[in-house]
Amino acid sequence: MMRDWLQRQLVGSIVRPLSGLGYVFVALLVSSCSEVPTALTALDDYQRRVANTLQLEPIAYQPVSFPQLPNSRDLRVQVPRISVSLLDSWRLDQCAAGQLIAQRNSALGKLEEGISRYFTDLQLTQAMKTCVTELEQAGEAQLAKRLASALQEKRQTLAASKQLAIATDDALRHSLRFAPSTLAAPDDAAFANALASLDHVLAVLQEPSQQPPQVSREQLESALEQLHQSDYLPRLWRSLHTLEAYLQQLAPLTEDLVGLAGCSSKGRPQRPEVLHTVFLKFFIAKVQPELAGYTRQGYLVNERLAQLAVISEQAALKDYIQRLMQLTDKLNERSKGHVKPWQRFFAACDFTPG
């Protein structure tokens, strides 16, 4: 399984530049065929009905720039290389450390990178610790001393190794990027799978270096593969961002809702009745549940982003993660702001809530 994952990663490093061009092409194709992103379908339908009732022009969505994940080359850190002599490595064949060292020095092992490589570093330090004890018990005092020295140096590199893993891991970076398109609707099953995978990755990054990893290699590889293949989190970021932007753009539509509705006219005109129906049937019944679904997922994944922000030591990446976390708060506040003119409308036109 490890070999298959690394081979896919290698192929990905070749195909990725071409797939990036593909994303651009798809984004252009979608924008030319669709007036609004799919996450805005219900919101756009609702605002068009409001505009039509008020005899105003509907407000077309205008794309807004979104945060960019810092380039991995700008986040790279130097990790000192710790080596064991070839002669000593041969004498470690009976230890688990010897097998891991041989694996790391193999052609496939040299391709290992990101969080998978950091996981191997954690395993290697534990194996070296065990091997030192076994060598001491076997009377190999000098070899045990040299290996203990290498172990101490290796432990001192783990912090840098972790930061390099966070900065360069393809699967983690994919999950943090904005996708070219939004979600059509919140999907709890797909979200739960993405969240579980992210939890496994965070568990490895939060492991104390002095203890054996609690997540197995198979669990980690499966989690990384899931994050790399799934677009759910990237599309969730894009959906949160796009919904908040469109609600902001719709502000002029409702800023004079009471005056345009004509509630002050003698009796109750038909227009307020229609607006009342549109708000309840299309915003409360359709738009609001979707907004609630997106914000609920946003707050749940924010708990994981907060953990990642604590682990990361690079200012640019921490700032980007904070901006991802702000997406949910912004959408939540913008949703509340959109409802306020309607609350004034209900009071002015003497409608009871619900």
pLDDT in tens, 144-187: 888 888 888 888 889 999 999 999 999 999 999 999 999 999 99
The predicted structure's pLDDT at residue 5: 45
* Closest alpha carbon to 82 in 104, 107, 63, 64: 104
Q: Checking phi first, is residue 267 left (phi over 0); if not, alpha (psi -120 to 50) or beta?
A: left
* Cα–Cα distance measured from residue 214 to residue 199, given in angstroms and rounded to the nearest whole number: 12
Under a CB-based contact definition with an 8 Å cutoff, are residues 2 and 221 in contact? Answer: yes
DSSP state of 351: P
DSSP state of 126: H
Q: Which two tokens stand for residue 186?
A: 């919140």
Band of residue 127 on the pLDDT scale cut at 50, 70, 90: confident
Q: Checking phi first, is residue 266 left (phi over 0); if not, alpha (psi -120 to 50) or beta?
A: beta
Helices (H), 138-231: 141-168, 170-176, 188-205, 217-229
Q: Enumerate residues 6+ apart whose C-beta is below 8 A from 81.
A: none
* Cα–Cα distance measured from residue 113 to residue 125, given in angstroms and rounded to the nearest whole number: 17
As a whole number, mean pLDDT of residues 27-33 equals 38
Among 121-125, 139-143, 271-275, the range with the most confident prediction by mean pLDDT is: 271-275
Q: Which two tokens stand for residue 201?
A: 């990755």
Is it the case that residue 143 has pLDDT exceeding 90?
no
The predicted structure's pLDDT at residue 243: 98
- Least confident span in 12-21, 67-76, 238-247: 12-21
The predicted structure's pLDDT at residue 173: 97
Is it the case that residue 297 has pLDDT exceeding 90?
yes
User: How far, in Å, are 117, 247, 262, 287, 320 from residue 156 at the CA level?
Assistant: 16, 50, 72, 52, 28
As a whole number, mean pLDDT of residues 137-150 equals 84
* Cα–Cα distance measured from residue 37 to residue 244, given in angstroms and rounded to the nearest whole number: 13
Q: Enumerate residues 6+ apart whose C-beta is below 8 A from 316.
A: 70, 74, 75
The predicted structure's pLDDT at residue 294: 98
* Cα–Cα distance measured from residue 117 to residue 94, given in angstroms and rounded to the nearest whole number: 23
The predicted structure's pLDDT at residue 353: 64
* Cα–Cα distance measured from residue 226 to residue 203, given in angstroms and rounded to the nearest whole number: 16
Band of residue 354 on the pLDDT scale cut at 50, 70, 90: low
Q: Enumerate residues 6+ apart whose C-beta is below 8 A from 148.
A: 132
* Cα–Cα distance measured from residue 17 to residue 13, given in angstroms and rounded to the nearest whole number: 8
Q: Please tell me which residue, 180 or 126, carries the higher pLDDT value.
A: 180
N-terminal to C-terminal alpha carbon distance within the chain: 55
- Whats the size of the chain, residue-wise? 354
The predicted structure's pLDDT at residue 129: 87
Is it the case that residue 320 has pLDDT exceeding 70?
yes
Q: Please tell me which residue, 159 or 21, carries the higher pLDDT value.
A: 159
